[in-house]
Chains A and B, each alone.
Chain A
Amino acid sequence: MLNGKQAAAAAEQIRFVLDDEVVTLVNPAPTRTILQFLREDLRRTGSKEGCAEGDCGACTVVLGELVARDGTERVQLRAVNACIQFLPTLDGKAIYTVETLKRQDGSLHPVQQALVDTHGSQCGFCTPGFVMSLFALFKNDAAPDRACVADALSGNLCRCTGYRPIFEAADRMYQCGDQRDWLNRPGTLAANTVDADEQALISQLKALRRETDLRVETGDARYFAPSSLAEFATLREQMPDARILAGGTDVGLWVTKQHRELPVLLYIGNVAELKGIDRSDTHFEIGAAASLTDAFAALNGAYPELAELWRRFASMPVRNAGTLGGNIANGSPIGDSMPVLICLGTSVVLRKGALTRELALEDLYLDYQKNAMQPGEFIERIRVPRSRPGWVVRSYKIAKRFDQDISAVCAAFALHLDAGAVAEARIAYGGMAATPRRAAAAEAALAGQPWQEPAARAAMAALDADYTPLSDMRASSGYRMQVAKNALYRLWLETRPDAPLASAQVNVFQLV
């Protein structure tokens, strides 16, 4: 490991900022996790391993990246799970760990001091992760409400405190300590102005920009991080068996949990063309490498009724790292984005070399973990139609826990209502079949019918013909079928022409 400022990085070097210093690594092992690097190589043992699958948050670190926001170059700080992030993906970024925050003079960061003051740690093992999630919130939001705090902490488990004092700390951190240093000044990233410290960091990160594509090779593993779409497409075509790596929130577990060998990784996180989100008159065009956080933020503008679904999608650190393209490409039968995207008429643009084709999202999925992509083909972008007048859209996630749980059932509906009747119905479910799939019989039962209880009941009954769900540790087949039907009933209650119920009357999570 080399420290200090350097000229442009060679192809096999990664460079990142840690504690204000540029760290250079030569040929880092592609599947070594950031957490392993911190704990084992640097002996920075503040970040903990609680689960090695991104579900407990004890390993939470904050990554800083250059982004363009409203036409201005800004630093974006986001919490991620170090346990499932591969080390080479740090290239070009800044990383903040719990050790970064305490000042040289021994004084604690406001986040840290607030947790001490509110008795927010007991055993202390989860605490560094909470500190880092709160630190990201502290920098990104000057005055978060309780819901924002809960969202920021949705990926952190604490077994001791019951969370009440941690909520208190999230309030108190804004009144704690002095604000001498940039790290200690809250909400600066939410401000419209770039302060001098952020500007310095921007300069530091800009200096890390690559002039050559990253190509790491160790004994038995290779890692490519092209920076252009064309180069990525070429590599993909040359190496159809390579594993595409985006946010790593699933692939990371293949290594930490399944001990799979991944001899070739193709990282798409440096491909600027794939990270963008464009809005046309008719569609959101979401690049395959856009984070879930960014994709959902864009979609929320058009579909505010989906906000709870996105809030319940995994956790904030997972949404920060994970990509919508990854969720879709993975094609898990319990992926939460697909049912509603299918209902909305989403399509995917697939690319192979220079050739592209567009496919309806529902046609991407052939069977359990089998999709319609050709060898060498990849998802370039996701085209989500913008909201259309006369359509009602809902998606309901049913799981054991509100935060960061995998759905037992995820129901999604898009109905075109015209003069009190269902002109068109698009219904899709996750958790009910081997793939996210439309409910043809239920849709047929609604098509052309008055949007009244008999039609809703007929569609509910038709689900028996559409699905034969499995029993597993999340739910029995009977429960899955019943809540699938009841979700349709909830939809009717919420959207019926006569005396529709407010969402707070049918959904406990909307109660205040």
Chain B
Amino acid sequence: MNNADPIVRPGASAAHESAHLHVAGEATYVDDIPELAGTLHAALGLSAKPHARIRSIDFAAVTAMPGVVAVLTAADIPGSNDCGPIIHDDPILADGEVHYVGQPMFAVVATSVDVARRAARRAVVDYEVLPAELDPRAARAAESFVLPPMRRVCGEPAQKLAAAPHRLQGQWSVGGQEQFYLEGQVSYCAPREDGCLQLWCSTQHPTEMQHVVAHCLNKASNQVVVEMRRMGGGFGGKESQSALFACVASLAASKLKRPVKLRLDRDDDMMITGKRHDFYYDYDVGFDDEGRILAVRVEMIARAGFSADLSGPVATRALCHFDNAYFLSDADISALCARTNTQSNTAFRGFGGPQGAIAIEYILDSIARRLGLDALDVRKANFYGKSDRNLTPYGQTVADNVIHELVADLEQSSDYRARREEILRWNADSPIIKKGLALTPVKFGISFNVVHFNQAGALVHIYTDGSMLVNHGGAEMGQGLNTKVAQVVAMTLGVPLSRVRATAADTSKVANTSATAASTGADLNGKAAEDAALQIRARLAALAAARFGGTAEAVRFADEQVSGEGWQIAFDELVKLAYEARVQLWSDGFYATPGLHWNRETLTGSPFFYFAYGAAVSEVAVDTLTGEWKLLRADLLHDAGNSINPAIDIGQVEGAYIQGMGWLTTEELVWNDVGRLTTHAPSTYKIPAVADCPAVFNTRLFHNPNHVDTIMRSKAVGEPPLLLPFSVFFAIRDAIAAVAEGNVAPPLLAPATGEAILNAVEAVRAARAQP
């Protein structure tokens, strides 16, 4: 770690609050909870057809299997057979018709996981096969969408395109990505008295799980309690799509009056759940001799899959991130959600932002190659200005732009220019292996695009022994949210972090929470917890000031001491005094992000509270005979504001970089010609492994206290660095371009698998052969 940032604050770079449990195998995930007596296990029966009517299902062989307790179908659902987060088009169990291979049709409940899974395969389904659409471009041609198309036009793109001195037009695509949380989807539900249910669910959205379970079972929200201590990874895949499993476990528990657990096998998980949307682009760009974009038109087709799920907001975020760090005065941007008979694609870290932003990066990289310029110079020429050229296509002013100084810093610290020269020399002497280099920037908008999601609540308790407990609406999935929130409480009350314990998200404690998503977890819940802690502190200060003199405002809390003018008392002592004085030692807290507005009709407004920035330089070597490649060095510089926990933030930056690199390189989703996903396990779907981590990996945080009033002036850090590995992709493209003299832009598709790379190498060779 090369973190030159001199941030010093109580608890800074504290280890993850569960680190000591993770390493000892003592951190409890849902499947680790000791099972209640009588627990049953469920497994799902999945569609084998991409689109079909279900004529009948013969369960005779299923129910004949010893240990099988029940088979549940849509007919057993007393309430709404829907778990869609926004549009209600997501059946829990298919009702008469299936829309993709892998769609759950029924659940088998048995005395063991093994029996349930074996039995589920024994059902005999009679399908009437219907026509299936598997290709997003074909769906777009047929105008088959899950939601109405979105389009935002600013300026006069048509006229400016026509008048531009240079023009580039083309098509491109980027693949989808499986979340591949190491802990698969799992829900465990226990019936409680009076029709109530206790649900343990690995989810980023306990409140939504509460709602869908209540709707599915015709219950009130106050009958369903969802508890979520931690997830073994979420990455967006457990935002809306934990719902189906929550509903099935709850349905079975409710119907059978027994605790029921539904833990998915990895293959089933990958067959059932949606992924990052693959995107298909048509672009048309006009630019000047310096590569400055004069006008651009882009149509982005997202593979939504069979239902809407979160495709609408994903497409909106793609649309709002097509600009990335660049001023686009005249732009025509549309985003379409193509309906296909495949899994319903969903949230994945970045939530459409990466798919929007990488399109403009591909365009800029192509412009640079057309003009024979260094792509970094073309990127810089297009950066948003500070006081002018700072209006986004959707009408928000970029008020906190630090991309110029951030990129300048990285350009220097990474030795970009000298390495560029060195690589030119190296490539000249290397007939087979070619090196490539790229620097790409990131600007990422922080907040939910849906304004009302930007709220959070928290509870802080101080017990009479001085220990503290904080509970908030956010869900811990490894990102260190609980650690940061506990740090906020500790800092606010002037006590060591060790005094503060963060507890499981629980819908019976903090109500009506938002998903832990859109990078907002610490921003929202940190502020809510701070609000709660400040209220307690104010009460303690008032008591102390009244007892010992001075004003409450002058009372300071630091180092486990509370002090005023001429007096000091141990924090613990003051807590005892407060209890005896009948002062409330616990409080709720609440936060709503100010100043947001968004018009869904015009696709304009100020949807983001602020922007986070970053940049990365990547250097790769590509084998032009096989398409195999290796990342040689990475230099990352990322704006986490005034970081609450630099170590955790660096972990987010590095992890997102490698995860995003996987998306753009080795992670390939392949559906066969009958719509079956053939990459449904780690044997066939390749996320980055240990050898993919570069030997030279420099990560720094860019010191930049947030200009708006966020928690401790920090910035959200979950998603923005997912865009940093664009530099890996463009470094590969750069290396491929070195195969030929001149300015050939390699037609490299993402993911840049060995095969995609070799195809691009061959295309460049062919272009060289025919000048």
Taking Cβ atoms with an 8 Å cutoff, the residues of A that contact B are 39, 43-53, 55-56, 58, 97-99, 101-102, 108, 111-113, 115-117, 119-128, 131, 146, 149-150, 153-154, 156-168, 257, 259, 396, 398-406, 408, 472-476, 479, 482-483, 486-487, 489-490, 493, 501, 504-509, 511
Q: Within 8 Å CB of A167, what residues of B?
A: 690, 693
Stretch at the interface among B145-153, B307-315, B647-655, B738-746: B647-655
In the bound complex, do residue A400 and residue B758 qualify as a contact, i.e. CB atoms below 8 Å apart?
no
In the bound complex, do residue A122 and residue B480 qualify as a contact, i.e. CB atoms below 8 Å apart?
yes
In the bound complex, do residue B430 and residue A505 qualify as a contact, i.e. CB atoms below 8 Å apart?
yes
Most buried by B among A43, A111, A126: A126
In the bound complex, do residue B233 and residue A116 qualify as a contact, i.e. CB atoms below 8 Å apart?
no
CA gap between A63 and B730 in the complex, in Å: 44
Given contacts A160-B655, A161-B655, contact A507 B623 (CB under 8 A): yes
In the bound complex, do residue A509 and residue B628 qualify as a contact, i.e. CB atoms below 8 Å apart?
yes
* B681 in contact (CB, < 8 A): yes
CA gap between A346 and B357 in the complex, in Å: 53
In the bound complex, do residue A505 and residue B433 qualify as a contact, i.e. CB atoms below 8 Å apart?
yes
In the bound complex, do residue B657 and residue A162 qualify as a contact, i.e. CB atoms below 8 Å apart?
yes
CA gap between A150 and B625 in the complex, in Å: 25
In the bound complex, do residue B678 and residue A160 qualify as a contact, i.e. CB atoms below 8 Å apart?
no
CA gap between A153 and B22 in the complex, in Å: 17
Q: Within 8 Å CB of B32, what residues of A?
A: 45
Q: Which listed residue, B266, B478, B691, touches A52 by the CB 8 Å rule? A: B266
* B629 in contact (CB, < 8 A): yes
Q: Within 8 Å CB of B678, what residues of A?
A: 472-473
What residue of chain A has the Cβ atom nearest to residue B751's Cβ?
A400
* B455 in contact (CB, < 8 A): no
In the bound complex, do residue B628 and residue A123 qualify as a contact, i.e. CB atoms below 8 Å apart?
no
Main secondary structure of the interface of B (DSSP, over half): loop
Q: Within 8 Å CB of A97, what residues of B?
A: 25
* B362 in contact (CB, < 8 A): no
In the bound complex, do residue B19 and residue A50 qualify as a contact, i.e. CB atoms below 8 Å apart?
no
In the bound complex, do residue A483 and residue B626 qualify as a contact, i.e. CB atoms below 8 Å apart?
yes
In the bound complex, do residue B22 and residue A53 qualify as a contact, i.e. CB atoms below 8 Å apart?
no
In the bound complex, do residue B18 and residue A53 qualify as a contact, i.e. CB atoms below 8 Å apart?
no
Shortest 6 CB-CB contacts between residues of A and residues of B? A46-B25, A125-B232, A123-B478, A124-B22, A162-B658, A98-B25
What residue of chain A has the Cβ atom nearest to residue B25's Cβ?
A46
Q: Would you list which residues of chain B between 668 and 682 have a CB under 8 Å from chain A?
A: 668, 670, 672, 678-679, 681-682
Q: Within 8 Å CB of A125, what residues of B?
A: 29, 181-183, 232-233, 478
Taking Cβ atoms with an 8 Å cutoff, the residues of B that contact A are 1, 13, 15-16, 18-29, 31-32, 34, 114, 117-118, 121, 179-184, 230-235, 265-267, 430-433, 477-480, 621-623, 625-630, 632, 647-648, 650-651, 654-659, 666, 668, 670, 672, 678-679, 681-684, 686-693, 695, 697, 699, 753-755, 758-759, 762
18 contacts between A and B (CB under 8 A): A55-B681, A101-B24, A108-B20, A112-B24, A116-B23, A124-B478, A154-B691, A159-B180, A160-B478, A162-B697, A257-B681, A473-B679, A482-B762, A506-B433, A508-B628, A508-B629, A509-B630, A511-B630
In the bound complex, do residue B23 and residue A108 qualify as a contact, i.e. CB atoms below 8 Å apart?
yes
In the bound complex, do residue A511 and residue B621 qualify as a contact, i.e. CB atoms below 8 Å apart?
yes
Q: Which listed residue, A56, A99, A124, A401, touches B18 by the CB 8 Å rule? A: A124
In the bound complex, do residue B691 and residue A116 qualify as a contact, i.e. CB atoms below 8 Å apart?
no
In the bound complex, do residue A160 and residue B690 qualify as a contact, i.e. CB atoms below 8 Å apart?
no
Given contacts A45-B32, A52-B265, contact A122 B691 (CB under 8 A): no
CB distance from A15 to the nearest CB of B (A): 24
In the bound complex, do residue A474 and residue B478 qualify as a contact, i.e. CB atoms below 8 Å apart?
no
Given contacts A259-B121, A400-B668, contact A159 B693 (CB under 8 A): no
Q: Which listed residue, A46, A473, A509, touches B670 by the CB 8 Å rule? A: A473
CA gap between A38 and B753 in the complex, in Å: 38
CA gap between A335 and B230 in the complex, in Å: 39
CA gap between A111 and B25 in the complex, in Å: 13
In the bound complex, do residue A163 and residue B25 qualify as a contact, i.e. CB atoms below 8 Å apart?
no
Q: Which listed residue, B13, B234, B682, touches A55 by the CB 8 Å rule? A: B682
CB distance from A485 to the nearest CB of B (A): 9
CA gap between A257 and B117 in the complex, in Å: 10
In the bound complex, do residue A116 and residue B266 qualify as a contact, i.e. CB atoms below 8 Å apart?
no
CA gap between A51 and B265 in the complex, in Å: 7
CA gap between A160 and B718 in the complex, in Å: 11
Q: Within 8 Å CB of B679, what residues of A?
A: 473
What residue of chain B has the Cβ atom nearest to residue A97's Cβ?
B25
CB distance from A399 to the nearest CB of B (A): 8
What residue of chain A has the Cβ atom nearest to residue B623's Cβ?
A508
Given contacts A53-B683, A124-B230, A505-B433, contact A487 B626 (CB under 8 A): yes
In the bound complex, do residue B265 and residue A159 qualify as a contact, i.e. CB atoms below 8 Å apart?
no
In the bound complex, do residue A50 and residue B659 qualify as a contact, i.e. CB atoms below 8 Å apart?
no
CA gap between A102 and B22 in the complex, in Å: 12
Q: Within 8 Å CB of A406, what residues of B?
A: 683-684
CA gap between A154 and B692 in the complex, in Å: 10
CB distance from B549 to the nearest CB of A (A): 44
What residue of chain A has the Cβ atom nearest to residue B699's Cβ?
A164
CA gap between A511 and B434 in the complex, in Å: 11
Q: Within 8 Å CB of A55, what residues of B?
A: 681-683
Q: Within 8 Å CB of A158, what residues of B?
A: 182, 690
